[in-house]
Amino acid sequence: MSVIGVALATAFVIAVGATTMRYTTVIREMNVLFSGQIMVTSSKAVVIQAIPIGGSMLPQDYTVRLIQNVTGVERIVPVLFVTPMSLTGIIQPVPVNFTMGIPVGEWGAVIGPTPLKGGVGHFPTNESGIEVVVGASLADQCNWTVDATVPFGSQNLTVAGILDTKLGLLNRCILMPLKLTQKMYNYPGSVNIIAVKPVAGILHKNLTEAIEEKVDYVQALTEEERNDMVQPVLAQVEAWDVGVQTVVLAMSMIQVMAVSAMSVSERRRDFATLDAIGAPLNYVVRIVISESALIGVLGGLLGICLGSIASLVMASLYTSIPLTLFFPSIFDIVPPFYMAEAFAAVVFVCCLGGLLPALSATRMRIAEVLRAEY
């Protein structure tokens, strides 16, 4: 029963910790999309790294012209980021995919040097065409291949390529030419992100102030500002995770301590006999701590297996992605280093739980124990 108890505690730690870690990692990864650039959005939008939530759309041509007149701007890329339509065209409270409309020829300004899977296919070259590029996770779920036809709302689109990337957002993303995205989502001439690359050597902070002064209905955010905005939220999530894990591990230690104390009490005669025949005091300590460590090892291994599966199940339920698609990426969701870290913590806590009963066993009065037991 002790092994089962420790296993359940370990599974809980793994499931909660891995899910929280994946959540914070995906959010931090979003900033990679606009690394080194200034992100311009509606002043009323709430920005989570690279995702604007709420606020109003920006008139594309007018806003771009205003920003072009600001000194220190090297390149401007308007983007329409939509979160999202489901694969059946129905708005869902939990996103199953994202859509990004990017001007043809400007793909690298947003997704960097992300290659296409297997080197097969190409990025769309016609701004008003029907070709799209999709993330690998989305393609696997829907069995899409290059040149496949994708029903999207009332329009049939063609998969021109599949992204080869580990970024969670891009794995669930549909990349379209900007004009096609505006047409599909009925946002003609509108965008909600404008990525601005500063001229080399200019201070980003100075440029953001100049943009906001020139265009009074936008907010311009540097990479550092986007990180600062979301950091308090991530800090609270991580603090909650640490608190939960601490409580669970403490409960495991108390459980092992109670079991070890019972075991020592039941074997007082054996330990007293060993002491009477000259066994060293630390021999009893080693026996008790070794038993506690064994409980930690067995419970930890079983708990890591159960917790990893639980993490995949939670990810599947949250994203509506079939569970089978998560198994190939199990080590992305539950990194091996985190498994080893949790295992070491569980074994250490179990050894610590067995220490007090072990020291108590060495303080037994041999004569009284032998008199009472024989």
pLDDT tens column, 304-359: 999 899 888 887 777 667 777 778 778 878 888 888 888 888 888 888 877 777 77
Instruction: Single out the residue of 137, 142, 86, 133 nearest to residue 110, CA to CA.
Output: 133
Residues 195 and 282 placed together within one structural domain of the fold: no
Q: Report the predicted TM-score, pTM, of the whole model to 2 decimal places.
A: 0.72
The whole-number pLDDT of residue 264 equals 62
Q: Predicted confidence band at 364 (pLDDT cuts at 50, 70, 90)?
A: low
Residues 274 and 350 placed together within one structural domain of the fold: yes
Q: How far is CA 218 from the centre of its chain?
A: 30
Q: How far is CA 206 from the centre of its chain?
A: 33
Domain ends where: 160, 186, 216? 216
Residue 309 is encoded by which pair of tokens? 């599966």
User: Per-residue pLDDT for 284 more than 50?
Assistant: yes
Residue 31 lies in a domain: no
Q: State the residue range of the domain holding 160.
A: 57-216
User: Per-residue pLDDT for 296 more than 50?
Assistant: yes
Torsion over CA: 35, 41, 43, 48 (sign):
negative
pLDDT tens column, 121-180: 999 999 888 999 999 888 888 889 999 988 877 788 999 999 998 887 888 889 999 999
Residues 206 and 306 placed together within one structural domain of the fold: no
Residues 10 and 109 placed together within one structural domain of the fold: no
Residues 65 and 201 placed together within one structural domain of the fold: yes
105 or 281, greater pLDDT: 105
Contact predicate 210/71, CB 8 Å: yes
Residues 102 and 238 placed together within one structural domain of the fold: no
User: Per-residue pLDDT for 190 more than 70?
Assistant: yes
Average pLDDT over residues 56-65: 93
pLDDT tens column, 214-257: 999 999 999 888 888 777 777 777 787 778 778 777 777 777 77
Residues 282 and 172 placed together within one structural domain of the fold: no
Instruction: Please tell me the distance from the alpha carbon of residue 102 to that of residue 107, in angstroms, as a whole number.
Output: 6
Residue 30 lies in a domain: no
User: Per-residue pLDDT for 191 more than 90?
Assistant: yes
User: Per-residue pLDDT for 365 more than 60?
Assistant: no
User: Per-residue pLDDT for 44 more than 70?
Assistant: yes
Residue 151 lies in a domain: yes
* Count of domains forming the chain: 2
Residues 258 and 342 placed together within one structural domain of the fold: yes
